[in-house]
Amino acid sequence: MKNYQNLEKKLGVKFKNPHLLNKALVHRSYLNETADKKLTSNERLEFLGDAILSFIVSEWLYQNFPDYSEGTLTNLRSHLVKTETLAKIASQLQVGQYLLLSRGEKESGGQKNPSLLANTLEAIIGAVFLDQGLPAAEKLVKKNLKPLLESLIETGEFKDYKSLLQEKIQAKTRQTPVYKTIKEVGPDHAKIFTVGVYSQDKLLAKAIGKSKKEAEEQAAGQALEKLAS
C-alpha cells in the first residue's frame, strides 16, 4: 500500500484505517493489472460519498440561506457539486497523482480526467465518513467548497432567470412579475406553451417551451435582455 501522508495533510484528515483511503483511490481499470485479488474498486465508496456530499451541501445551504426558494437552493447546490467543481478541488488536492489506474488509463490522461477526479473525490468523502463520521466529512467538504460558495453568492451566477428577474422587478416596483399562459397547442403528450411575463400589466417578453416552466424561464431570460439594453 502506498504512503498517503502528503495527501492526508492536504485533506486535513489522518485516517484511522488507511485501507479506506487506499480503496478510495482504486479505479476499476487497475484491478485488471494487480495480483491482489482482494482489492476492490472505489465505486461503492463513490456511491456513498455522492450521497454524503449532497446531504452536507443541502443542509449547509438550507441553514445559511433561509430566504432562498427550493429552486434557487437546487441551482446553488448543483453548481457546488457538479463534475467541474469537484474535479477542480481534486486537482488542487493533487488527487490524480495518487490514483491507482491501469497503464492504458494513465497513458490516456486518466490522472487529469475531470470525471474520474470528481468520482475519486466523492469516494474519498465516503472513506472519510466511514473512518471518522459525518463531522469530519463535513469539515472536508465545507473547507474546500466555501471559497466557491462565497464567489457564487457574490456574483449571483447560480440564479435562474426567473429569480434574477424577480429581484430586478421587485427593486424597481416592489411587485413580483406575473407569468401568464398565452397559448397552448398540440396533443396532451406533446404540448407547446407560449407564456408571457408581465410587470404592472405590461408585457415584458414572451417565449415558447415544452412545459410552462421552460417557457417561463425563457420569457424571464428575454425580459432580462430587454431591461439590460
Question: Which residue shows C-alpha cell 429569480?
Answer: 163
Identified catalytic residue from 50, 131, 138, 217: 50
Cβ atoms of residues 102 and 72 within 8 Å: no
- Tell me the sheet residues that pair with 178: 198
Cβ atoms of residues 125 and 140 within 8 Å: yes
Cβ atoms of residues 29 and 105 within 8 Å: yes
Establish whether 138 is a catalytic residue. no
Q: How many residues does the chain have?
A: 229
- Number of continuous H segments (helices) and E segments (strands) in the chain: 10, 3
92 contacts: CB under 8 Å, gap ≥ 6: 144
Identified catalytic residue from 46, 122, 216, 217: 122
Q: Which stretches of 94-211 are DSSP H helices?
A: 103-107, 114-132, 134-155, 161-173
C-alpha cell at 126: 465516503
Establish whether 122 is a catalytic residue. yes
How does DSSP classify residue 30? G
Write out the catalytic residue numbers: 50, 122
